[in-house]
Amino acid sequence: MSERTAALRAAHASGLLVGAEPVLVLCSGGRDSTCLLDVAVTLCGRGRVSVLHVNYGLRGAESDGDEAHCRALAERLGVELEVVRAPPGPSGNVQAWARALRYGEAERRRRAAGALVAVGHTASDQAETILYRLAASPSRRALLGMQARGDARVRPLLEVTREQTAEHCRARGLTWREDSGNESDRYARTRVRRALLPALRAVHPAAEANVIAAAATLRAEAHVLDELVEQVLDGHEDVEVETLAALPAALARLVLVRLADAAAGHPAGGVGRRLAELLALGARGGPAALDVGDGVRAEIARGRLSMRTLHYTAAPEMPEPHSDPAIGEILVSASTLQARVREMAQEISHDYRTLPTSPGRSLLLVGVLKGAVFFLSDLMRHIDVPVEVDFMAVASYGSATDSSGVVRILKDLDVVIEGRDVLIVEDIVDSGLTLQYLLRNLGSRNPKSLEVCALLTKPARRKVELKARYVGFEIADRFAIGYGLDHAERYRNLPYVAALAT
């Protein structure tokens, strides 16, 4: 066998590559993944190992150089290589886009071939990840770090430092590619590597190792907390609101996170922070629903709280072709919009099924001009209970991008809504001030019921607590255009929702 480097010993000791399934190594051509590929071939034999390289084409000749390097490496090690060439990327978060693409491709192969997907994350990456998350995310889970075996991939080098992967490559006479992106301070991760870690090492020479050790301790303690949460749930996938309210808030938040994760099928972010809102909704009695983020909706019925997913993928979409530079990344694609609108129409049809069908007594949709017209007309086409429609136009005093909450009616309803079931259809809930005004105004006319159906919501911008019974999508705090949403009256006709490029 070849040199027993520290990297090889650690990968062997990890026990992650001992099975019989094929191993797919994701290789960028950098030192860590070059090391991983060599180690995998040594431990598993070349027959079991293949390589996937994704060429994002982001760095021109350098990207092609990386690809050529991987080709030469695969040939030297005698393993099969597959190269995926990415279509042109988005203007927004390029790293997230590249990651989603890489893991999407790997996941497809994992499913098809039953392959183990191996990635080259090292102990150095682990320390950087933990420090970055510590700064970027106010959650306990952020501090746990990456798992050696988790989320459909294995990380055989997670105990190996970056120096040791370089050592391994040198010992085996393997070269690697340096990513010029690592030299610039453009990415947060690179700044952690180049500025934060050295500063911490100056505070204490074992800083990096201590960060990793602390995460290991937290991971062990996480099992204890998981156990407590399971005791609260007692075999159920929902929880009594009263039980939740009586728990220490820290534990109640963990219960919410656990339910949301199970519903989403992956860690759902930011759910714990919605505890107070959910308890407030629960305290009102009656059924309620709240989108808690990451495509998960919390539902309260008969005093119990459960979570389910909204059936759409928030995965980054490939940009649709357009030539206008004002149109930024796609927030919700046309096909995803249509699928969700149909689903919302089904929910509405289901909920209003028992209403009288005579004219003037059936469900009344109130569209808010102008933005909601596009959503409303698509929505209405899929509602299969008797339904009527009317419109209101309101203007809110404020700047172009911020409403003030002082609202003026430009066009009122044509019909009287006293005693009727009314559903307000809105394009987007931003601060919530417009909707709050509408709910008060229409509510004072004594409808039999008054609910809200909003295509989009930006929870980060909310200024008032609002209960929207139907919500299509949560979007990030970006100014959105398309599918009814305008910027200075333009772009309403886009079939998708995009961010206004800044």
Active site residues: 430
Q: Which of 274, 431, 447, 474 binds ligand IMP (CB under 6 A)?
A: 431
User: Does residue number 371 form part of the binding site for Mg ion (CB under 5 A)?
Assistant: yes
User: Does residue number 269 form part of the binding site for Mg ion (CB under 5 A)?
Assistant: no
**What residues between 345 and 374 interact with ligand IMP by CB under 6 A?**
371
Nearest residue to 502 (alpha-carbon basis) of 95, 58, 92, 89:
92
501 neighbors 491 (Cβ within 8 angstroms): no
Which of these ranges, 29-37, 143-151, 363-371, 382-390, lies near Mg ion under the rule CB under 5 A? 363-371
- Interface with ligand IMP (CB under 6 A), residue total 16
434 neighbors 408 (Cβ within 8 angstroms): no
Q: Which does 309 bind (CB under 5 to 8 A by kind): ligand IMP, Mg ion, none?
A: none
Minimal distance, residue 273 CB to ligand IMP, in Å = 20
Q: Which does 403 bind (CB under 5 to 8 A by kind): ligand IMP, Mg ion, none?
A: ligand IMP
**What residues between 378 and 397 interact with ligand IMP by CB under 6 A?**
396
The two tokens of residue 106 are 């790997």
Query: How far lies 275's CA from each of 254, 310, 405, 474, 490, in Å?
Result: 10, 19, 26, 18, 39
Which amino acid does the sequence have at 392? M
Give the CA radius of gyration of the chain. Answer: 27
Q: Which does 434 bind (CB under 5 to 8 A by kind): ligand IMP, Mg ion, none?
A: ligand IMP
User: Does residue number 452 form part of the binding site for ligand IMP (CB under 6 A)?
Assistant: no
**What residues between 290 and 319 interact with Mg ion by CB under 5 A?**
none
Residue whose token pair is 């690592």:
182
Q: Which residue sits closest to Mg ion, CB atoms considered?
A: 371
Provide CB contacts within 8 A for 423, sequence distance 6+.
Answer: 348, 352, 363, 364, 365, 366, 450, 451, 452, 453
Three-state DSSP state, 293: strand
**249 φ, ψ to 5°?**
-55, -35
- Give the nearer residue to ligand IMP in terms of CB position, either 197 or 435: 435
The two tokens of residue 375 are 């959503």
244 neighbors 281 (Cβ within 8 angstroms): no
Q: Which of 11, 421, 434, 469 binds ligand IMP (CB under 6 A)?
A: 434
Minimal distance, residue 370 CB to ligand IMP, in Å = 8
Tell me how long the chain is: 502
Stretch (H or E) spanning 368: strand 363-369
Stretch (H or E) spanning 499: strand 497-500
Stretch (H or E) spanning 172: none
Which of these ranges, 48-56, 185-193, 212-220, 425-433, lies near ligand IMP under the rule CB under 6 A? 425-433
- Give the nearer residue to Mg ion in terms of CB position, either 282 or 371: 371
Which of these ranges, 44-52, 364-372, 397-405, 416-424, lies near Mg ion under the rule CB under 5 A? 364-372
Q: Which of 432, 447, 459, 472 binds ligand IMP (CB under 6 A)?
A: 432
* SS3 of the chain: helix, strand, coil, percent, to 5: 40, 20, 35
User: Does residue number 403 form part of the binding site for ligand IMP (CB under 6 A)?
Assistant: yes
Q: Which does 338 bind (CB under 5 to 8 A by kind): ligand IMP, Mg ion, none?
A: none
Residue whose token pair is 């009317």:
390
User: Does residue number 367 form part of the binding site for Mg ion (CB under 5 A)?
Assistant: no
- Give the nearer residue to ligand IMP in terms of CB position, either 63 or 431: 431
Q: Which of 170, 479, 492, 501 binds ligand IMP (CB under 6 A)?
A: 479
User: Does residue number 161 form part of the binding site for ligand IMP (CB under 6 A)?
Assistant: no
The whole-angstrom separation of Cα 154 and Cα 294 is 25
Which of these ranges, 48-56, 179-187, 216-224, 427-435, lies near ligand IMP under the rule CB under 6 A? 427-435
User: Does residue number 126 form part of the binding site for ligand IMP (CB under 6 A)?
Assistant: no
Minimal distance, residue 389 CB to ligand IMP, in Å = 17
User: Does residue number 164 form part of the binding site for ligand IMP (CB under 6 A)?
Assistant: no
Give strand ranges (E) for 231-362: 239-240, 288-293, 296-301, 304-309, 327-332
**What residues between 243 and 302 interact with ligand IMP by CB under 6 A?**
none
291 neighbors 457 (Cβ within 8 angstroms): yes
Query: How far lies 308's CA from each of 48, 141, 292, 336, in Å?
Result: 39, 21, 10, 18
User: Does residue number 457 form part of the binding site for ligand IMP (CB under 6 A)?
Assistant: no
- Give the nearer residue to ligand IMP in terms of CB position, either 161 or 434: 434
- Give the nearer residue to Mg ion in terms of CB position, either 16 or 471: 471
User: Does residue number 427 form part of the binding site for ligand IMP (CB under 6 A)?
Assistant: yes
How crowded is the C-beta side of 199, counted as CA atoms within 13 Å?
A: 8
Q: Which of 252, 485, 494, 498 binds ligand IMP (CB under 6 A)?
A: 485
Burial class (CB in 10 A: 0-12, 13-18, 19+), 493: exposed
User: Does residue number 428 form part of the binding site for ligand IMP (CB under 6 A)?
Assistant: yes
Provide CB contacts within 8 A for 37, sequence distance 6+.
Answer: 25, 27, 49, 51, 73, 74, 77, 79
Binding site for Mg ion (CB under 5 A): 371
Binding site for ligand IMP (CB under 6 A): 371, 396, 403, 426-435, 479-480, 485
